[in-house]
């Protein structure tokens, strides 16, 4: 089952995070452009995420709140964004490529929440005491994200080029992870085995 994305402009969050130099009509225009763009590839993205991660989607919808670009918060995924459904708070950038690869990354996190990714059988993410490693969770998302980008847009696409620019110059969470991602892209060939097969015991 491939879920449907429910895109929503969150008025309260928009009012809260809209920068003083930006007009609401400009944000509305950027949001409409991004939503129209992503709806065209939505099914392919979600199908590709499941194909490479090996983790099955389990819920029928993914709630997504669209908010303006701002310096206060990053795009993020919540395990219970709306009535028990994991979802995304997605910032909209003028750069449509950046919007796209960041959103794909967040959707890989939704895929984790909708599946058995957080099972204690995940010996890559959980240590012997059952403590999860958030950096390794990010690595899993990044490896799947890059593979999805390549699957949909080809190698060395403008989406992947901006992805690496973002990783090396702009991303503030998980410092240094941009050096680890290429290592795991080589270690885990997701065209041969799914991520689930690499990281879950007896998957």
pLDDT per residue of the chain (203 residues) written in tens, 0 to 9? 899 999 999 888 888 888 877 888 889 999 999 999 999 999 999 999 999 999 999 999 999 999 998 878 888 999 988 888 999 999 998 899 999 999 999 999 999 999 999 998 999 999 988 899 999 999 999 999 999 999 999 999 999 999 999 998 877 677 789 999 999 999 999 999 999 999 997 54
Q: Note the pLDDT of residue 203.
A: 47
Q: Note the pLDDT of residue 21.
A: 75
Q: Tell me the C-alpha distance between 145 and 37, whole Å.
A: 18
- Report in angstroms the alpha-carbon separations of 175 from 16, 138, 141: 28, 11, 15
Q: Note the pLDDT of residue 172.
A: 67
Q: Tell me the C-alpha distance between 163 and 167, whole Å.
A: 6
Q: Tell me the C-alpha distance between 48 and 119, whole Å.
A: 22
Q: Tell me the C-alpha distance between 52 and 191, whole Å.
A: 7
Write down the pTM of the prediction. Answer: 0.94
Q: Note the pLDDT of residue 19.
A: 84
Q: Note the pLDDT of residue 43.
A: 98
Contact between 148 and 49 under an 8 Å Cβ cutoff? The reply is: yes
Q: Tell me the C-alpha distance between 124 and 54, whole Å.
A: 15
């Amino acid at each position: 089952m491939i879920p449907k994305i429910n895109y929503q402009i969150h008025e309260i969050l928009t009012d809260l995070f809209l920068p003083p130099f930006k007009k609401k009509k400009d944000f509305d225009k950027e949001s409409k452009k991004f939503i129209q763009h992503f709806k065209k590839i939505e099914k392919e993205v979600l199908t590709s995420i499941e194909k490479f991660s090996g983790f099955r989607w389990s819920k029928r919808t993914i709630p997504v709140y669209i908010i303006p670009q701002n310096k206060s918060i990053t795009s993020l995924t919540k395990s219970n964004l709306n009535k028990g459904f994991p979802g995304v708070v997605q910032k909209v950038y003028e750069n449509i490529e950046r919007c796209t690869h960041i959103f794909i990354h967040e959707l890989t996190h939704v895929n984790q929440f909708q599946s058995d990714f957080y099972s204690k059988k995940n010996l890559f993410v959980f240590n012997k005491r059952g403590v999860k490693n958030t950096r390794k969770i990010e690595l899993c998302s990044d490896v799947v994200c890059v593979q999805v980008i390549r699957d949909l847009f080809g190698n060395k696409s403008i989406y992947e080029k901006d992805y690496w620019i973002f990783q090396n110059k702009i991303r503030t969470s998980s410092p240094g992870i941009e050096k680890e991602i290429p290592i795991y892209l080589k270690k885990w060939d997701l065209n041969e085995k799914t991520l689930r097969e690499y990281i879950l015991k007896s998957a």
